[in-house]
Structure 1
Amino acid sequence: MRTPGIIPVPIAALLPGESPRSEGPDQEHVARLAEIDGPLPAILVRRSDMRVIDGMHRLLAALIRGQETIDVEFFEGTTEEAFLRAVQANITHGLPLSQDDRRAAAGRIIASHPQMSDRAIARASGLGAKAVASIRRRSTDVVPQLNSRIGRDGRVRPLSSVEGRWRAAEVMAENPTASLREVARIAGISPATASDVRRRIQAGEPPAPVRSDTATVPAPALPEFPEAEAADIDAMVPAQGGRPRAEHGVRLPQPSPAMVLEKLLRDPSLRLKEEGRHLLRLLQQNASAEWNHLTAAVPPHCGALVGSLARQYAATWLEFAQHLDERDQSTAQKAVS
């Protein structure tokens, strides 16, 4: 009596699938299976293309025995999901995979399922979690790095509470009416942490405590600027735009671009939005450009073209600054009236 979901399929209708075994089927193992007295266990086949996911040794043994059909259990899923299932199946039964094949399989699973935790991939590939972590570190150039991973229990956990906090702040900025539970679910943090993020934002603090040994938000590297005291920067750079404040009729000197950029990069209201981060990147690129060296890099026949572009870009920045001035003046007039 067959197990429900398993049906006989003509062997001629089946195709070999992608196996995690680098050296192909083991002929001695095929011969041993062919000598078994009784039906062979069902093989696993992807329904969409009739390719064998698990059971090539049994399929070859059935051919040796002269069978025209073989019991099949069908699988529904993508090519990547089929390969993951094939590795899992070869770990739990049949001829064990070699150590090299397990490591190669783990590397491929990391690439196709980067959201899986090291322990989950270790369980699927038959390796240790430390070995999987080592393979993942060597794959960082080609594997996307995510902010969370799915564990063996199926739960999503953030790799860093700091990243989860900044993600929660982004969700709050995009949807101010979202509940704490909804924010926590999207950001992969607890409701209590989401509540603390909201409290910190309302107090004008960054979503995560700033530590000297960690970076709260990934950002492009800053060029080396002379250090300045935070109090001096805040005094010279106005909080809401406009020109530097003056006290007792004394006009303060214009702050250096480095000092202004330093203040802007610390402002959560800019860093929490994609448009704000884009603006900061543009400002950083302008600040870090070495114009004297760039002038020498322009060949004579391109001088007029590059100069024309530079003037157009400068005019665009000037127009942008004028729009900001007009907006600030309008806001100030409305506040007075």
Structure 2
Amino acid sequence: MTKILLSALSARRGGGLTYLRHIVGHFPAEAGHRLYILSAAPIEGLPARDNVEWLQAPAWTVRPITRFLFGYLYFRLFWPLRHDFDAVYFPGGSFDLALPPHTRRIVAFRNMVPFDVEASRRFHFGWTRLRVWLLRHIQSWAFRRADLVIFISEYARRVIDAAIPRRRGASVVIPHGTAPTTQQLEPTIAAQLPDRFVLYLSILDVYKAQVELVEAWGRLIARSPRAEKLVLAGPENPRYGVEVRAAITKLGLEREVIVLGNIPHDQISDLTRRATLNVFLSSCENCPNILLELMAIRTPLLVSAREPMPELGGPDLDYVEPYDVSGIAEALARLLDDSARRERIAEAAHQRSARYSWPKTAAATWEAIIRCGGGDI
């Protein structure tokens, strides 16, 4: 039997919670393995399991500094009185200092930004850029000392192999899965959509290239009017959101570009299916869930040429450099004017998406963690 603690203190929303719901929901019931989840609140949407137990942490652990202090005190003072775990899994990428020496330490690498110099430098000087710098050093420390690092793309492993060539433990590559959502768009959101549109669904942020896409859209419609509109959907980095809107105003595209705002996660498949073409132009990713979800719902795609997108999407998608405004405009024109090509890309993406499923991801994750906890890795 392997006793595993999963530290979910840093998972509060978005992709982190989606990941936990899927892997915990597929925790193996056989062989007497037990899983304990340390978090400030129960993870919603999990089925009841006899071999999964929730350990409640104080509500104030949602803050990074207090979370670190709690982790230090928990593992130093409370751990010996409660449980003797074989392995502790930290999906957030770093682990606490006070773990007992015999406990196997397992971390996942899910945030590429701290290890991408170009993306890091796009942030303005201030707290965000300092936070990225701190994360790089904290995660580097954890990767060097972990017994197992779980990467979610081969590209990610190459990046860390180059940045931290000397590491104590083993590593494994386990991509994320995909599960298209089923809820329909809220009527108030659907009412804002034109009949035909190109959609970019992602957070508006400095490494996502929405400004370049807006500029490319301006060049596209300057050549000839288009029936389609451009729709940007997702939450915002406030400062970058201002830059995106400034670009729209500067180019006089207020009637051509719609900034839709954040979309509830359970409605994104309905939104993306309505688009004539979906684009994903991020310059810095590890294993983007949204790309896998777009592939799974069989939609035409124009995708960033930066890794790991070609690794995940395969050879049959259309790729473009995310900061090449002219190249983006040409790629948009080519795809919007060729419905047969869009159909071929959609089918190729859909077939490729069969590689990525949450049951496969969960099974591979728990197999690696259990082997590590038993000393086999």
TM-score (norm 1): 0.22
**Greater per-residue helix proportion:** 1
**Greater per-residue strand proportion:** 2
If you compute each CA radius of gyration, which structure gives the higher value, 1 or 2? 1
Which of 1 and 2 has higher RCO (CA within 8 Å, sep 6+)? 2
TM-score (norm 2): 0.20
